[in-house]
Structures are given as structure tokens and as C-alpha cells.
Amino acid sequence: MTRPGLYVHVPFCEKKCAYCNFYSVTSLNDIPEYVNAILKELSLYNRDFSYFDTIYFGGGTPSLLSAAALSDVLIHVRKTFTIAADAEITAEINPGDADLHFLVSLRQMGVNRLNIGIQSFDEDILRFLDRRHTREQAIQSIEQARAAGFDNIGLDFMYGIPDHSLLSWKGTLSQALSFHPEHLSCYQLSLESDTPLGRRHQNNEFALPGEDEQAELFMLTSDILTGAGYLHYEVSNFARDDRCKSRHNQKYWRHVPYLGIGPAAHSFSGQRRWWNHRSVKQYLLDLREDRRPLEASETLTLSQQRLEASFLGLRTGEGIPLKHFSEQQEDMSPREREKVLELLVQQGLIVIQDGFLKPTRRGLAVADRLALML
Amino acid sequence: MENIRNFSIIAHIDHGKSTLADRLIQHTGVVNERNFKDQILDNMDIERERGITIKSQAICLPYKARDGKTYMLNLIDTPGHVDFSYEVSRSLASCEGVLLLIDAAQGVQAQTLANLYLAMEHDLEIIPVINKIDLPSADVERVIGQIDAELGLDADSHLQCSAKEGIGIEEILEAVVERIPPPEGDPEAPLAALIFDANYDPFRGTVIHCRIFTGQVKAGDTIRLMFNNALYRVEEVGHFLLTREKRDRISAGEVGYIIAGVKTVSDVHTGDTITLDNRPCAKALPGFKEVKPVVFASIYPIASDDYEDLADSLEKFKLNDASFIYQKDSSVALGQGFRCGFLGLLHLDIVQERLEREYDLSIILSVPSVRYRFTLKNGGVLEVDNPSHHPDPASIAKSEEPYIRATMMMPERYLGSVMKLCMDKRGANSTLSYTGPGRVELLYEMPLAEVIFDFYDRFKSVTQGYGSFDYDIIDYRESQLVLLDILVNGEKVDALSQIVHRERARARGLLACERLKEEIPRQMFKIAIQGVIGGEIVSRTTISAFRKDVTAKCYGGDITRKRKLLEKQKKGKKRMKMIGSVSIPQSAFLSVLRSETE
């Protein structure tokens, strides 16, 4: 689990979704040059990284690339680095893009995990989010993924949508459970100012649920899914069992190094973070000249490393080692620290187990706050 | 001595005192234009920012007058805030005359009058100067009328200037030479020098600023400070130019400095008399008063590890501020700290700001208090300036609190709202007089405790800035006092306790709860805030807990953005104090005194 992961960002979308602020462009003309640039960028890191045990194609919309292009990338990755025999190789796909033929090709080139951006089974919500697929296509994509032989499927959902009745969310969840997905990600809608939804919200076109309602939705989601046997292992993530947790995403939370390839991708070495230009044009330009397409980098101080480890760790059920708590809060006396812990335990926000501070489900709902306290 | 003039500029706050001082300095060429730093006499950052002179300063201006002779004009700057009126009086005692500066737009204000009275007490020559005549809103005719009617001065004696534009500066200097009398005093008589200020030089120790009335002093003399009969050997004497200029001796009529191995400024008292040990003067110069702090508050470090740093900083700070006093104190809620005494709330503000800015300390200030007096049934008398030392109510025979006389001036139309405010503040025995057409002077006796908190801000707000205010402490009066405690999650926070008047106690309890609810951010658990008097809960409020505070998505690998956000929040948290398990922001401690009208 401490081996690095590889992330490949595919920054193309047929159409931007109303809530999304991940970097992507809707002009698809650059895709061929982009694929070549990806291959080149991978080669530029062959001295810094040698071995990966997870690969993740994210976006954007990776399913906008042809199967042949994705396959070229994977072949090149295998040529440049050593890839674990049992590596987890995930592709994000969009319902509607991926027909059975494409899915079978993914399976054949070695992709063994799919993450499908369903978001909702409620047509109204799909429209509100400006998704380009229908409920019908969503269902079909899951069925076809199974038909193509995928036995590790993650479904992405969004909740806390304005005027979104509790009933609608419960309906979406129960439909999701009927497919027995290995993994579920349920994200509470958060608004970014530079998205269409963010702007509509600023114009007071709609209101988000209040804090109390959000907390209730969060707990309800957790109750339903844990009731169905899933592990609530990260703020927004649920796994059918231990083996179904997203190995790649866990690296982010466990402070494990990863290499991000593609425009706007972020990388981490354990002490250094660097990230690529948030511009396809600039990215392509740099790689035409064999330069790493870096926008910036930073070297983390010890206290920054600790803060990161703590806020990332507290997003997961694993929590953080108890001793990290005392290192973080040097300005508290041992007695004060003792008291804070006691109170958080009393409030049912954390448990202390095997030398770890583990957030409870209610603790996960306030993980950011916990990170500031712990 | 014929060529010496000792004078001050006195004015209401913001009437342009420091700007005029700058112009006089520039005009006499003590500094050249190039390295002229605006408002040289206010040389602390805070002074420049707030536009208030905190400490007095002196400077000697060599001036070649129209009569062809060169004069030494000693300008003694005075602090410009009501908290420092004793310091002003000592500076004035060192002068023969004053420039009474009046803003052409605002006209005569409360401090204009208060300062005028002070100058008259010292029999000084008074030159009224109307400043800011360049302002579009300037109404010079009206101010001339006020000089005659409200100040009782000869209106023809006034000068006009714009310190900002440098208009009329020469005329002012000429008037200083012509109209202010030269000092008198026998240089051969025994030494009598008045201390009007002192500052601390890290290399030389305390530098005493003084005015010599009779006699002379030189290096090697042994001087005696008459208040505590302390003896020091003089190392150096001199004049204040832009920097200190060493002289062989300073003698009667002059203003200058003495360096005599005095360790801290607290060893010298403003207003004390310096004489020679082997030939003392018969009696001390009049008017000496030991300055006593009137507002008290405790200072605690936010992080308990910073206690030693705080102790060091206070010690250094004290070197230069004799009116600031402190001693060790401890609080159940806040740990080790110091109980400090201040001349007023502005002084307290300044100390807090300087400790944070110059010594980089994060500190918590407890709720400020005045000094109460309790006569116990067993006959003992207890002075209490810290609510946590409030005696057992059953043992108290009589409680008293300090009263002040407030002098307020305002246009007549604000009279009603000001009187209401004063009554809200338990004001009594008012006197009203008309100082001019449409303008009134209102005197009120009020408990100091009511005034030090938010009186001044509210007064300014009800008079829309047209009112002015000054005060003197008069005496102690009997009062029904009770102790109001604040509990946060059941734990008493002693730094939030207040001694309050019985009739106001319930309202103050409610107010404190409300303010704290505004100031204390939601936390991981519910917080109950209660106001308690003698075991009875008089007010309560709750702050509900955070229930949802986490970003849904935290990958795609961009951890940097998220971390920066948390770092920012963490920095904010550093300015809070953990009490029990509740983080209380610094601002909460002073907020409990803010009234509802803000």
C-alpha cells in the first residue's frame, strides 16, 4: 500500500457539467496530440518513479478517448515502468459513452476496475446537474459493465441537491444497491464559484440545504449503506468489503506518493508536491519541447506534512496515529490534550483504538474541524 | 535666558497639533526636507497610525527672528488624550506659553476648553491659533466668535494658519518670540528642575526630560529626586535637537535632558523635582501627583509556553512606560498571567497593541475593571480591582466605586440623546450651561466603571462626532455592587467576571451572554453560556455544535489547495484560547462590555 500510484488526467469533455471544476476543455481536436504528449510526459519521469501498483484514468472524460488510444497509453506505461502484476487499473467512464465493445476492449487491455459517474437515477437531478446521460443509459452502462466482465465497479453519486427530496435520494440509493456495486462514492454537492451552478447560487437562484439538513443527509446515507453491509471507509466512500476499497484513492488519504500525468494533474513525492499547467495548450507546448509541463511545485515543511497527514487521515475510518496528535498540538499541555480527547470521545466523534484516533461516522461529518483540533 | 522661549501646543484631538509641530520643525530647519519623516514628534508607529501623541516629547528649535536675534524655542509636545491629562499638566508647567490650536471647521471642543483651563492654571501666555483655514468647511468667523465668547480670550490676539499647507507658520514663530515671555529664574540659586517625561535608552538607561527653573546642573553633580530622595550621579546633560545634543551644563530657564544612571523610567516620576544633593532647594516644585492607574485588566499568553516571553516583554515595556504597572496574577481558566494597571482604556488598548506588534505576542486580556472599595463588617477595608478577588458578599458592610466628573460639549440639538446616554450610565448631578449660541456644556457625575467601557464610542455616535468629552476623577461613592460570573460549559471563566451595579446586573448578564454567543464560533459540541450572580443563573444561551463541516471530495490529488485553507483556519485558531475544551477568541473578552447599540 505504500507503493506509488499513477494518475492520468484526460481533460476532455463533450460538455461541462454544471457543478464540476475539474480541469477540462470541450474542444476535442487536440486529443491526438494530447495522447502523444502523455506518452512523452510519462517518459520524462522514468527516473523519478519506477514501480506502480495502481493506475487511474480520470477526468474529464477518459471514455472520450478511443480504446486504441487508452491501450497505447497503457502499453507505454508498462514499457516505461514496472507495474505490479495485481495492479488496480481504474477507468472513469460516463454512462452513454461506453458501449459494450469499448468496455470489452478496456477489460482486454487490463483495466480491471470501472468508476461510473451515475450521479443520480432521478431525471430531474440529472438535468439540474446538466449531465448528458439519462437514467436509462445509467442503468444500461452498469449492466454492460457487468456483461463485459467487470467485477469491481464503483458508482459515483451526488446528494444534497437543492429541492431534492429525501425520497428521491433514498430511491437512488436503493436502485444503486440493487446492482450490488463493489464501491459507492456519495458526494454531497459542494459549489465552486467558477462553475455555472456556483454562479447561479451566487445569484440566489437556489439555496443549498442548511448545515443541520446536510448532517442528516450524511448520516442517513451512511445508515442506509452500512445497513446494506458496506464499509463507510472515507467521508464520501463506501466499499462492499475491505478488498473493494479504492486502492488508488486511498493513497491520497494515506499520504502515499503518486505521479499525476496530463494537464492540471497533481503529483506528490512524500515531501514535494508539483502540478501541471491547467491549460491543454501550454501542456502541449511544453511537451513539444520536451519540458516537464510544470506550473508550480512546493516542498512541504514538517508541520505541513503533519497537517496534511492529519486532515487526510481523519477523512478515513483508519484515522491517525495517536502520537501524531501530540506532535500537532505542541502548544497544548498534556492535560489540555487529554481533555480534548476525552470530550471528543464523549461526543461520539472519535474512538481511540490500537494507538489510533479514529473518527466515528459522525466524526467523519466534521473531519475538517477535527483536523484543526487534532 | 532672554533668548529662550518654552511653549507647548495644545488642542482637541485631530485639530492638527502634530502637523503644526512638524511645520515649525521644518521651518526652523532642524531637519532638512529630504529626511523629514512626517510628524516627527510622534515617533511610535501606533502614534502615527492613530494620530494621537502618547508620550510627550521635546525639541529645541533654533530660530532667527525678524529682530535679527536667534532664539532657542523649546517646543514641548503633550499627549492628546483624556487618559493622559496629568502628563499634559506637567508639560504645561514647564512652559511660559501655549499655542491653543483650534480647527477652523470644528471650532472649540471639550479638550480645547480643558486644555485652556490647564494653561490658565499655570498662568501661561495663550496664543489662539485657528488651523485648517484652507478647508472648504472652514468657518473662521465663527471660530473667532468662539474665541471671544466661549474661551473668553481676546479675539484680536488670534493667528490663522494651515499647518498642512504651511500657511502662517512664520507668523506663529514670530508670535512665540514676541508674546511668550522669556523664562525667569536665578541660575545661581539651588537647582530646581521639573521632570515632565522620561524615556528609556537601551545604551544609556533612563533619559530624564526636565525644565530647569532655578540653578544649573552638569555632569558629575549628584542629583536628588525629591519624591523618594533617591541620589544619582549625573553622567550627561544636554538639549533636545532632533537627537540629544550633549552640553556642558543646562541651567535656569532651559529645557533639556539628564542621564544619571537611572535604571528604569519607573524610578523617576513625572512631576517630581530634581535638585542637587549638596545644595538642595528649599521645597519641591508644586503640582506633583503620583499617577495611579484607574483601569485594571489581566494579561495572559494564549499559549501557556509564552509566559516567560510575556514576562520579559512586560519588563522591557515597563522600561519606557512608567504609568503602566503590573504584577503576577493567575487565573483558574487562563493560567499564569499578569494583573496590569492602566491610565484609561486607550492606554490599555495601546499597551495591548504594542505588546502584540512590537513583541509579537498573542495575548488575552481579561474584562477591564476599575478599583472598587469594600468596607467589611469586621472593619477592614479592601480595594479590589480584580473581580476574582471580590469578597464574600455576606462579609461586606459597604461597597464603593470611583466617580468621575464628565465635561461634555456639543451642539444643543444633541443634548437630549446625550442626557439619555448619561442617565443610562448612571449619571447624576448634571449641570448645563450655554457656552455660545446653540452650543452647550454639560457636566455629569458618573461612575468611572460606566465610562471606561463603551461610553466614549457611544457618546461620539449619538453626537455624530460633534460632541467632545473630557473627565476628572472626583471621589468614591457608595454603590450597590454585585459580582457577575460567566460560566462556559459549566466552568467559571474568571477572566470574564465583572463587578456590576445591582440594578444593572441582570441586563449585563444577558448582554454578556449575547455578546459571547456572537463572538464564540460554533464548535464540535454544544456550548452553554450562563451568567451567574450569587449562585443564581440570571441569563443563559447556547451555541449549537458543528454537525457538518467537511468537503465531500478531496482527491484528484490537489491536496495543496485544501491544506492552504486549513492552514488559514489554523492561524485563526491560534488567536483563540482554549478554556476547558472551548476555544474562545481574544475578541470575546472585551466584547462582553460592548453595548447593544453597536
Q: What is the distance in angstroms between the Cα of B525 and the nearest Cα belonging to chain A?
A: 7
* Start-end of H helices in B263-414: 307-319, 345-358
Closest CA to A276 of A260, A300, A293, A299: A293
Helices (H) then strands (E): counts for chain B: 14, 33
Closest CA to B268 of B223, B238, B313, B328: B223
Asked if the C-beta of B556 comes within 8 angstroms of chain A's C-beta atoms, the answer is yes
Whether residue B552 and residue A315 make contact (CB cut-off 8 A), yes or no, is: no
Same domain as A73, residue A189 = yes
Chain B residue whose CA is closest to A215: B548
Residue A36 CB neighbours (<10 A): 14
Question: Could you tell me which residue, B224 or B494, shows the higher pLDDT?
Answer: B224
pLDDT of amino acid B319: 77
Same domain as A121, residue A39 = yes
* Domain membership flag for residue A63: yes
Q: Which residue has the cell 476532455?
A: A12
pLDDT of amino acid B521: 86
Same domain as A229, residue A125 = yes
Q: What is the distance in angstroms between the Cα of B562 and the nearest Cα belonging to chain A?
A: 9
Whether residue A366 and residue B548 make contact (CB cut-off 8 A), yes or no, is: yes
Average pLDDT, stretch B501-529? 89
* Domain membership flag for residue A57: yes
**Which residue range(s) make up the domain with A361?**
302-373
End-of-domain residue from the set A253, A286, A321? A253
The answer to whether A374 and A320 have CB atoms below 8 angstroms apart is yes
**Residues in chain B closer than 8 A to A253 (CB atoms):** 554-555
| Cell triple for A184 | 459507492
- Torsion angles phi and psi, residue B394, rounded to 5: -70, -20
Task: Give the type of residue at B430.
Answer: S
Q: Which residue has the cell 517646543?
A: B75
The answer to whether A148 and A106 have CB atoms below 8 angstroms apart is yes
- A43: domain CATH number? 3.20.20.70
* Interface A-B: count of C-beta contacts within 8 A: 111
Cα B408 to Cα B109, B120, B441, B443: the distances in Å are 9, 19, 6, 6
* Domain membership flag for residue A187: yes
- A332: domain CATH number? 1.10.10.10
Distance CA(A54)–CA(A74), nearest Å, equals: 12
Distance CA(A243)–CA(A245), nearest Å, equals: 6
Cα A156 to Cα A77, A119, A213: the distances in Å are 27, 6, 21
Instruction: Closest CB to B524: pick one of A190, A311, A349.
Output: A349
The answer to whether B556 and A22 have CB atoms below 8 angstroms apart is yes
Chain B residue whose CA is closest to A188: B552
User: 3-state class of B179 per DSSP?
Assistant: helix
Distance CA(A332)–CA(B362), nearest Å, equals: 15
Q: What is the DSSP letter of A12?
A: B
Cα B517 to Cα A309, B334, B500, B512, B536: the distances in Å are 33, 20, 20, 8, 20
Asked if the C-beta of B203 comes within 8 angstroms of chain A's C-beta atoms, the answer is no
pLDDT of B51 over the 50 cut: no
pLDDT of amino acid A45: 96
Asked if the C-beta of B332 comes within 8 angstroms of chain A's C-beta atoms, the answer is no
- Torsion angles phi and psi, residue A325, rounded to 5: -60, -45
Same domain as A345, residue A206 = no
Asked if the C-beta of B545 comes within 8 angstroms of chain A's C-beta atoms, the answer is yes
Reported as a single tens digit per residue, the pLDDT across B124-133 is: 999 999 999 9
Q: What is the distance in angstroms between the Cα of A216 and the nearest Cα belonging to chain B?
A: 9
Q: Left (φ > 0), alpha (ψ -120 to 50) or beta: where does A33 sit?
A: alpha
Same domain as A340, residue A235 = no
Same domain as A149, residue A30 = yes
**Residues in chain B closer than 8 A to A331 (CB atoms):** 303-305
Domain count, chain A: 2
pLDDT of amino acid B48: 47
**Residues in chain B closer than 8 A to A235 (CB atoms):** 550, 552, 554
Same domain as A61, residue A166 = yes
Distance CA(A109)–CA(A89), nearest Å, equals: 10
Least confident range of A92-101, B186-195, B219-228, B342-351: B342-351
Closest CA to B235 of B195, B263, B269: B263
- Torsion angles phi and psi, residue B253, rounded to 5: 95, -20
Q: How confident is the model at residue B360 (pLDDT cuts 50, 70, 90)?
A: confident
pLDDT of amino acid A104: 96
End-of-domain residue from the set A194, A227, A253? A253
Cα A369 to Cα A326, B101, B324, B570: the distances in Å are 17, 56, 40, 10
Q: Please, which contacts does A37-40 make with residues 24 or more away whose CB atoms are closer than 8 Å?
A: A37/A283, A37/A284, A37/A287, A37/A288, A38/A8, A38/A73, A38/A261, A38/A262, A39/A72, A39/A73, A39/A76, A40/A287, A40/A290
* Domain membership flag for residue A31: yes
Average pLDDT, stretch B166-176? 95
Closest CA to B333 of B579, B590, B587, B586: B579
What is the torsional sign of CA A359, A362, A367, A369? negative
| Cell triple for A100 | 459494450
* Domain membership flag for residue A32: yes
Interface test with B, best of A232, A250, A311 (most B CBs within 10 A): A311
The answer to whether A350 and A364 have CB atoms below 8 angstroms apart is no
Q: How confident is the model at residue B14 (pLDDT cuts 50, 70, 90)?
A: confident
* Regions of chain A with pLDDT less than 70: 1, 328-331
The answer to whether B468 and B409 have CB atoms below 8 angstroms apart is yes
Instruction: Closest CB to A260: pick one of B303, B547, B557.
Output: B557
Percent of chain B at pLDDT > 90 equals: 49
pLDDT of B105 over the 80 cut: yes
Asked if the C-beta of B152 comes within 8 angstroms of chain A's C-beta atoms, the answer is no
**Residues in chain B closer than 8 A to A298 (CB atoms):** 560
Domains identified in chain B and CATH numbers: 4-179 (3.40.50.300), 192-276 (2.40.30.10), 295-366 (3.30.70.870), 394-479 (3.30.70.240), 483-591 (3.30.70.2570)
pLDDT of B31 over the 70 cut: no
Mean pLDDT score across all residues of chain B: 87
Q: What is the distance in angstroms between the Cα of B432 and the nearest Cα belonging to chain A?
A: 54
Distance CA(B254)–CA(B487), nearest Å, equals: 58
Whether residue A343 and residue B551 make contact (CB cut-off 8 A), yes or no, is: no
What is the torsional sign of CA B11, B15, B21, B24? negative
Reported as a single tens digit per residue, the pLDDT across B258-297 is: 999 998 888 888 899 999 999 999 999 998 887 788 899 9
* ipTM of the prediction: 0.89
Distance CA(B80)–CA(B111), nearest Å, equals: 9
**Residues in chain B closer than 8 A to A315 (CB atoms):** 550, 554
Q: Left (φ > 0), alpha (ψ -120 to 50) or beta: where does A355 sit?
A: left
Cα B346 to Cα A340, B82, B90, B367: the distances in Å are 37, 9, 20, 14
Q: What is the distance in angstroms between the Cα of A89 and the nearest Cα belonging to chain B?
A: 16
